[in-house]
């Protein structure tokens, strides 16, 4: 029969690779807890209107990257989430969560965008995101940046730089928009097809173009930062002061605009030069108008999202060693008839926290296989100890314990009726 393959741009995450993911997720959970950000989970499918309204109609995501479909049963227009902020906001509004004050939240999970698959760019990819809703002060923008920076350090990630910018407020953007249109009209010959199409609908988006032939014209375009009023400038410098006080190095990138329309004031990206053209590992900013746009009572908010695949790829690039999971002990079993009893003993060990892998032949009716072969498997499992359940040992109500890592250590015996007394000695990290 013809073999079926995964959808293009969507990856299976299998062992041993999945251990890196679990390690990473554990670090994230731990760190989010230290900043008192609480986990939330929203559906992977949302009404299409949520993204059209939330992200903006004239954005790469909404124009060409969404997996949208009609529900066959009731005709509802649905979309596989391309990002999670809109869903978080929808849920927070739906559950009136800002009623008793601001909320610090985080999520992790798969996102879907129909992009051209390449290194660091997939059609199903994963994000971790942190969102602080209901707070307007610059200190929370800075807290989120500090949190991300701390995450890089706890992962052992190096060579990540921080770029920041301010997108100001809508009225400031309006003045800039006019200047931008005038400027691009003047250079219309140099614009690519996308840019021409967006010239009047969303000229700011042109600054986010990935087309390198437009680099020059984009670089000399009017800068939004020059159109900012006093309040917007003060907000940005407050963020910068807090970063400085925390020795976080940043650069101001006046062309940083981000891919969604919902941002205002602070925007930022963490970028590396070690992943080729997919160098942005994390991006975020303030989105004070999104909650209202999605139908909630107006409230400020700020957040970021990181790309898990890119972060893990960068860790690999930097040859960061991530502990591979291994059992504490590997159970070598001489005869299959002893399995019921042996499995009961292993069960007791696991209840006491010991990680034990049992030797399992493809078909135990043919026997357990030679002890030599079992020891080979035990060694390959990475376990510290072999537990030897020979018929002799079992007759004497004992199990043999042999270190797999210290060849000089002699095999010893432990009494089965006193598991509680020695189980924990198997948990030494070797
Ligand atoms: P890019 O400019 O690389 O397309 P973006 O601005 O579209 O990124 P965001 O929507 O801000 O990205 O998402 C936050 C992060 O998610 C990105 O910085 C990146 O690390 C990751 N990311 C975005 N799209 C993809 C993708 N298709 N595959 C893998 N990771 C992605
Ligand atoms: Mg993109």
Residue 215 pLDDT class (50, 70, 90 cuts): confident
Q: What global pTM score does this model have?
A: 0.94
Summary mean pLDDT of the chain: 96
242 compared with 277, residue with greater pLDDT: 242
Residues 370-390 have a mean pLDDT of 97
**Please, are residues 168 and 224 in contact by the beta-carbon 8 Å criterion?**
yes
Q: Is the CB of 140 under 6 A from ligand 1?
A: no
The token duo for 126 is: 């994963």
Arithmetic mean of pLDDT, 290-314 = 97
Model pLDDT, residue 259:
77
Kindly tell me if the per-residue pLDDT of 388 is higher than 80.
yes
The answer to whether residues 307 and 345 belong to one domain is no
Mean pLDDT of 80-98: 98
Which position has the token pair 């997996």? 67
pLDDT on residue 428 = 75
CA distances from 42 to 28, 37, 183 (A): 18, 16, 42
Percent of the chain with pLDDT over 70: 100
Average pLDDT over residues 389-414: 96
Q: At what angle do helices 48-55 and 85-94 cross, to 10 degrees?
A: 110
Q: Which residues of 72-86 are buried (b: 16+ CB within 10 A; e: fewer)?
A: eeeeeebbbbbbbbb
d(CA 257, CA 269): 10
Q: What is the distance in A from the centroid of ligand 1 to the CA of 336? A: 52
Tell whether 250 and 372 lie within a shared domain.
no
347 and 239 within one domain: no
Task: Identify the pLDDT of residue 103.
Answer: 98
- Listed residues 275, 290, 317: the one ending a domain: 317
Whether residues 282 and 408 fall in one domain: no
Name the pLDDT band for 208 (thresholds 50, 70, 90): confident
Domain limits for position 421: 329-426
* Together in a domain, 284 and 353: no
The total domain count for the chain is 2
Mean predicted confidence (pLDDT) in 404-415: 95
Question: For a substitution probing ligand 1, which of 280, 290, 304 has the most ligand atoms within 8 Å of its CB?
Answer: 280
Mean pLDDT, residues 392-419 taken together: 96
Which residue's CA is the closest to the ligand 1 atom numbered 21? 307
Please indicate, yes or no, whether residues 310 and 352 belong to a single structural domain of this protein: no
Atom 26 of ligand 1, residue of closest alpha carbon: 121
pLDDT tens-digit readout, 253-270: 999 988 778 899 999 999
Identify whether residues 284 and 352 lie together within a single domain: no
Residues 119-144: tens digit of each pLDDT:
999 999 999 999 999 999 999 999 99
Do residues 125 and 302 make contact, with C-beta atoms less than 8 angstroms apart? no
Q: What percent of the chain has pLDDT over 90?
A: 92
Q: Tell whether 38 is covered by a domain.
A: yes
CA of 9 to the centre of ligand 1 (A): 14
So what's the pLDDT on residue 260? 78
Please say if the pLDDT value at position 224 is more than 80: yes
Residue 309 in contact with ligand 1 by CB distance below 6 A: yes
CA 98 / ligand 2 centre spacing (Å): 30
**pLDDT confidence band for 210 (50 / 70 / 90):** confident
**Residue 209 has what pLDDT?**
86
If asked whether residues 48 and 113 sit together in one domain, one would say: yes
Q: Are residues 255 and 106 in the same domain?
A: yes
Domain CATH number, residue 396:
3.40.50.800
User: DSSP 3-state assignment of 158?
Assistant: coil
User: Up-side HSE of residue 82: CA atoms within 13 Å toward CB?
Assistant: 27
Rounded Cα gap, residues 112 and 80, in angstroms: 6
Quick check: 14 pLDDT over 80? yes
Q: Quote the pLDDT of residue 187.
A: 93
Instruction: Please state the rounded mean pLDDT for residues 313-329.
Output: 95
Mutate to test the pocket of ligand 1, among 109, 111, 162, 283 (most ligand atoms within 8 A of CB): 283
* Residue 182, H or E segment: helix 170-186
Beta strands in 257-397 (DSSP E): 264-271, 280-286, 301-307, 329-333, 356-358, 385-389
Q: Up-side HSE of residue 57: CA atoms within 13 Å toward CB?
A: 4
Q: Is residue 3 part of a domain?
A: no
Flag whether 257 is in a domain: yes
In a domain, residue 9? The reply is no
- pLDDT at position 221 over 80: yes
286 within domain boundaries:
yes
**Are 58 and 92 within one domain?**
yes
Of 3 and 260, the one with more pLDDT: 3
Residues 339 and 387 in one domain: yes
Closest ligand (CA of 83) = 1
Task: Report the CATH number at residue 287.
Answer: 3.30.930.10
Residue 357 pairs in a beta bridge with 330
pLDDT at residue 427 tops 80: yes
From the CA of 258, the nearest ligand is 1
How far, in Å, from the CA of 259 to the mean position of ligand 2? Answer: 7
Instruction: Tell me what pLDDT residue 79 has.
Output: 98
Proximal ligand: closest to the CA of 108 = 1
151: pLDDT confidence band, cut at 50, 70 and 90? Answer: very high
């Amino acid at each position: 029969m013809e073999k079926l393959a995964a959808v293009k741009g969507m990856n299976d995450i299998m062992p041993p690779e999945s251990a890196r993911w679990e390690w990473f997720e554990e670090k994230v959970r731990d760190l989010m807890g230290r900043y008192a950000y609480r986990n939330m989970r929203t559906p992977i499918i949302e009404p299409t209107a949520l993204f059209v309204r939330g992200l903006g109609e004239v954005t790469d995501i909404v124009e060409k990257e969404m997996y949208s479909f009609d529900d066959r049963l009731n005709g509802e227009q649905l979309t596989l989430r391309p990002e999670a902020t809109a869903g978080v906001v929808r849920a927070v509004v739906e559950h009136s969560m800002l009623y008793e004050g601001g909320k610090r939240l985080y999520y992790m999970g798969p996102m879907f965008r129909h992009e051209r698959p390449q290194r660091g760019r997939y059609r199903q990819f994963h994000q971790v995101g942190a969102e602080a809703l209901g707070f307007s002060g610059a200190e929370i923008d800075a807290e989120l940046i500090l949190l991300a920076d701390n995450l890089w350090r706890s992962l052992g990630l190096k060579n990540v730089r921080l770029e920041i910018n301010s997108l100001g407020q809508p009225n400031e953007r309006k003045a800039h928009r006019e200047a931008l249109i005038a400027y691009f009209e003047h250079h219309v010959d140099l614009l690519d097809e996308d840019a021409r199409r967006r010239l009047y609908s969303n000229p700011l988006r042109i600054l986010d173009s990935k087309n390198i032939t437009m680099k020059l014209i984009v670089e000399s375009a009017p800068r939004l930062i020059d159109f900012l009023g006093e309040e917007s400038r003060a907000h940005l410098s407050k963020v910068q002061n807090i970063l400085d006080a925390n020795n976080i190095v940043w650069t101001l990138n006046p062309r940083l605009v981000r891919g969604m329309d919902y941002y205002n004031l602070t925007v930022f990206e963490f970028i590396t030069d070690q992943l080729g053209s997919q160098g942005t590992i994390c991006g975020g900013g303030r989105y004070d108008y999104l909650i209202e746009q999605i139908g909630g009572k107006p409230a400020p908010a700020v957040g970021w999202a990181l790309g898990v695949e890119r972060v893990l790829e960068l860790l690999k690039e930097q040859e960061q060693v991530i502990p591979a999971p291994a059992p504490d002990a590997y159970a070598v079993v001489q005869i299959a008839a002893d399995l019921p009893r042996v499995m009961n003993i292993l069960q007791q060990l696991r209840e006491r926290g010991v990680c034990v892998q049992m030797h399992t032949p493809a078909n135990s009716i043919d026997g357990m296989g030679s002890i030599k072969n079992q020891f080979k498997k035990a060694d390959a499992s990475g376990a510290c100890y072999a537990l030897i359940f020979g018929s002799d040992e079992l007759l004497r109500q004992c199990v043999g314990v042999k270190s797999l890592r210290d060849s000089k250590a002699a095999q010893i015996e432990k009494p089965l009726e006193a598991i509680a007394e020695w189980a924990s000695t198997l948990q030494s990290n070797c």
